[in-house]
Amino acid sequence: MIKVNMFNNISLDGYFTDASSDMSWAHAGGDDVEMGEFTRDNAQGGAALIFGRVTYEMMAAFWPTPIAAQMMPEVAKGMNAARKYVFSHNLKSAGWTNTVILDDDPAREVARLKKEGGDKALTILGSGSIVKQLTAAGLIDDYQFMLNPVILGAGRTLFDGLPGRPSLSLENNRTFNNGKVFLHYRR
């Protein structure tokens, strides 16, 4: 059975978006060379990507562009080549290559994808409501957070209202010169 991972940037006070649903704060410190190498290596992982519609539309508006290819060529190549699953009841067609639109229950679909095993792994990027639903269903194997040295004061959390208390163990961590800390937990 293939693994399901999630990756999200979070603030010191636990938000993945600010009160206006903005995530631009997560791009601060992008000139850190070590962090750039880390990001490039992660983009080469070969996992299929899972998105909710909002995150998908944000990613699809950037990664296929010439600006993305110029700014981060290896990451853009990986993002564009990856198979992408987007959960949406409203999206009827997708312009980003290798995209599959799923309009069923995320927990049911991801459980099916895990069993089918056609992908190397599945990685959820952003997509807070998907993360919460899949956490509640016990379907996420690895949680990866980039802790950003910023306090937002308000915003959206990933796990607000989550039933139960899933227990995680720290798999590894890494601190970058820009003050960000990568945290990898396993369920």
Predicted local confidence at residue 31, as pLDDT: 77
Predicted local confidence at residue 41, as pLDDT: 77
pTM comes to 0.91
User: By percentage, how much of the chain surpasses pLDDT 70?
Assistant: 99
Identify the burial level of 160 via C-beta atoms within 10 angstroms of its C-beta, where 0-12 means exposed, 13-18 middle and 19 or more buried. Answer: exposed
**Per-residue pLDDT averaged across 109-136, rounded?**
90
Nearest Cα to Cα of residue 77 among 43, 42, 100, 47: 43
**Is it the case that residue 114 has pLDDT exceeding 80?**
yes
Which of 21-25, 73-77, 178-182 is modeled with the greatest confidence?
178-182
CATH code for the domain of 152: 3.40.430.10
Domain of 23 in residue numbering reads as 4-186
pLDDT class for 175, splitting at 50, 70, 90?
very high
pLDDT class for 30, splitting at 50, 70, 90?
confident
- pLDDT tens for 78-98 read 899 999 999 999 998 888 999
Cβ count within 10 A of residue 57: 15
The three-state DSSP-derived secondary structure of the chain is CCCEEEEEEEECCCCCEECCCCCHHHHCCCCCHHHHHHHHHHHCCCCEEEEEHHHHHHHHHHCCCHHHHHHCHHHHHHHHHCCEEEECCCCCCCCCCCEEEECCCHHHHHHHHHHHCCCCCEEEECCHHHHHHHHHCCCCCEEEEEEECCCCCCEECCCCCCCCCCCCEEEEEEECCCCCEEEEEEC
Predicted local confidence at residue 144, as pLDDT: 95
- pLDDT tens for 51-76 read 999 999 999 999 999 999 998 898 89
Q: How many domains does the chain have?
A: 1
**Is it the case that residue 33 has pLDDT exceeding 90?**
no
User: By percentage, how much of the chain surpasses pLDDT 90?
Assistant: 67
What is the chain's mean pLDDT, rounded?
91
**Is it the case that residue 40 has pLDDT exceeding 80?**
no
**Is it the case that residue 124 has pLDDT exceeding 80?**
yes
**Per-residue pLDDT averaged across 152-174, rounded?**
93
- pLDDT tens for 131-143 read 999 999 999 999 9
**Token pair for 92:** 């009827």
